Amino acid sequence: MTAVGGAETGKAIIILNPVEPPLMMRNSVFCAIPAEAGEPGALQDRILESIHAMVATVQEYVPGYHLRADPQFDPARELWRGMARAFVPIEVKGRGDYLPDYAGNLDIITAAAARVGDIMVAHRLGVATSWKSSADLGEAPDPVTPALEQAGV
């Protein structure tokens, strides 16, 4: 988050949940924002617009990525060094092509790595990216081929 995203500080926490039946991948993203963005107004509107634009960008390569609810804003607090806070709840449903649909965490990691790799190669070669969004690729393939079906898999 700091090296790639440019944030001054960052922290990531993962909680593994071995529950049966499995749950969809859900994350809560908290962002420190300027104090004035904690209150309704032009800055908060721009942040909301940016959040929704980023969701649309991520959905190009991970179609099951979506907001679980509208982003919420908390006013500035001294405890947060005078900063306000945005809360963005997300969920990722996998395509279910090779892994179960609840394995959205693996879909997003794999898709993000492929997207970054495509951008890096295009940059190094000085060409446009060859990226195809999930919409360009069509429906997810059926993971059970006739040969596997005959084998009883």
Give me the residue spans of the domains in the chain. 25-150
Mean pLDDT of 75-90: 96
Token digits of residue 129:
């990216």
Kindly indicate the confidence band of residue 135, based on its pLDDT and cuts at 50, 70 and 90.
Answer: low
Q: Check residue 73 and give its pLDDT.
A: 98
Residue 61, judged by CB atoms within 10 A of its CB (0-12, 13-18, 19+), counts as buried
Q: Is the confidence at residue 10, as pLDDT, over 60?
A: yes
pTM of the model: 0.68
The domain made up of 25-150 is a member of CATH 3.30.465: no
Helix (H) or strand (E) holding 86: strand 84-92
Q: How far apart are CA 96 and CA 32, in angstroms?
A: 34
Who contacts 85 (Cβ-Cβ below 8 Å, separation ≥6)?
Answer: 30, 31, 32, 33, 38, 73, 74, 77
Q: How far apart are CA 83 and CA 74, in angstroms?
A: 9
Distance of CA 30 to the CA centre of its chain: 14
